[in-house]
Amino acid sequence: MTDQDDAPAIPEEKHHFPCGQCGGDLEYQPGETHLVCPHCGHEETIDQSADRTEALRERDFDAALRNQIDTADIEETRVVKCPNCGAQTEFDEADQAGRCPFCDTPVVTDTGTHRHIKPAAVLPFRIEEGVARASMTKWLGRLWFAPNGLQEYARKGRTMSGIYVPYWTYDTKTRSRYRGARGEHYWVTRTVRRNGKTEQVRERKTRWYPASGTVARNFDDLLVLASRSLPKDYTDALEPWDLGDLEPYQPEYLAGFRAEGYQVELVDGYSEARDRMDQVIRQDVRRDIGGDAQRINHVDSDYWDITFKHVLLPVWLAAYKYRGKTYRFVVNGQTGKVKGERPWSAWKIAIAVVLGLIVAGAIGYVAYLNQ
C-alpha cells in the first residue's frame, strides 16, 4: 500500500486482554470462541455480535490506490524487522528481545511502527500447538534420510510459534475477446520402406480453422500471499484454506499469537493476481475454441469492479538451527497440513549406498552360481 502520511495518526493497537480474576494476559483458545487465562484458567467469551456482512465486505481497489480508503481501515502496530530474513512481526511492548519465528535469528525490539491497511478478516487457529507439533514430528518421521539429530531436536525443541500470516484476496469481473485457431486432427496413410520392406504407416495431421469469440469469468477471493518471509512453495503447499470460516477481524483472535505485517503491497499483490487470472482466462479461451488443438493469437481482457480484502491466516511455524543450517517447518493452523525443508543425512545416504552395493553384489553372486 502507498504511504498514508496524509491520514490522521491512529494510536497503536495493543492486543493485551487482562484476566478479570488474576490480571494475567488472556490468550485465544484455538478452535473455540473464548479467551483463556493460562495462569488461573478463567475464560472470557469473544464478542460475536459484529455485523459479518459489513466487516467482511470487499474494499474498493481503485479507491485504495488513490489513498481514499476509510481511515477506519488503517491501523498502526509496533513491529520488529528481522535483520536476516526481513520479516516484520508484532512483538509485545514488554518484550525487549526475542528470536525471529521465521528464521530463528536473534532480534532486539525497538519502537518501530508499521502503518498499514487493517485486516478485514481473520481465520482463527483451529488446532493447538501440540497437535501441530505432532503433525510436524510425524512428517519428519516419514523422511528416510533426515538426520536423527534434527528429528530428535525437533521433538525436544522449544514450542512452535503461532503466526498470523498476511494475505490479500481479490475479486473482479472479466470479459475477454480472443482470436486464434481451432485444430482438428485427421489421419493419412503413407507407404514407406524400412529395412528393405514396404510398410503402411498412419500419420496424424491437423487442419486449422480461424476462431474468435468472447469469454467471461468472475473471480472471487483469489488468494495472494502478502509475505516474503516464507518461500512461496511452502505456503502454496498449505492450501486449500476454507475461507468460509473467516471471522470479522477482532484483536482477541490474536491474543497470545503474533501477526506478521504485509511486505507485498496491495498493487504488487494485484499484479500477481492478474498473472494468475490471465492463465485461467487462457484456459477458458482454449475450452471455448474447442477442437483437438488450439492456438491463441491474441487476448484482450477487461477487468472491472475490482475489490480486495486484507486477511490473516493461521500458521504454526518452527525454525530450527542444526549444525549451522536453519530448517523451517510450517503447519496449516486450520487443517494441520505440513510443509518444510527436506534435510538430508550424509551418513544415512552413504550407508544406504553401501547396503545397496552389498545387496546388488549378493544378487550378482547368486546369479553367477546358478549359471
- Angle, vertex CA 246, rays to CA 242 and CA 249, nearest 5: 155
Mean pLDDT of the chain: 79
The three grid cell numbers given for residue 36, joined into one nine-digit string: 483463556
**The pLDDT value given to residue 166:** 93
Is residue 331 a contact partner of residue 132, using CB atoms and an 8 Å limit? yes
Q: What is the pLDDT of residues 119-171, one digit of tens each?
A: 899 999 999 988 988 887 777 765 554 555 555 655 665 678 899 999 999 99
Confidence of residue 309 (pLDDT cuts 50, 70, 90): very high
Q: Which amino acid is located at 120 in the chain?
A: A
pLDDT in tens, 34-80: 899 888 888 888 888 777 877 788 999 999 888 877 766 776 666 66
Q: Using pLDDT thresholds of 50, 70 and 90, give the confidence band for residue 96.
A: very low
How far is residue 160 from each of residues 130, 155, 163, 236, 258, measured CA to CA in Å? 9, 11, 9, 20, 12
Going from N- to C-terminal start, the domains of the chain cover: 27-177+220-264+308-340, 344-371
CA–CA separation, 102 and 306 (whole Å): 32
| CA–CA gap between residue 54 and residue 242 (Å, rounded) | 20
Q: Give the pLDDT confidence of 318-342 residue by residue, as tens digits.
A: 877 666 677 788 899 999 998 877 5
Give the Cα separation of 208 and 299 in Å (integer).
18
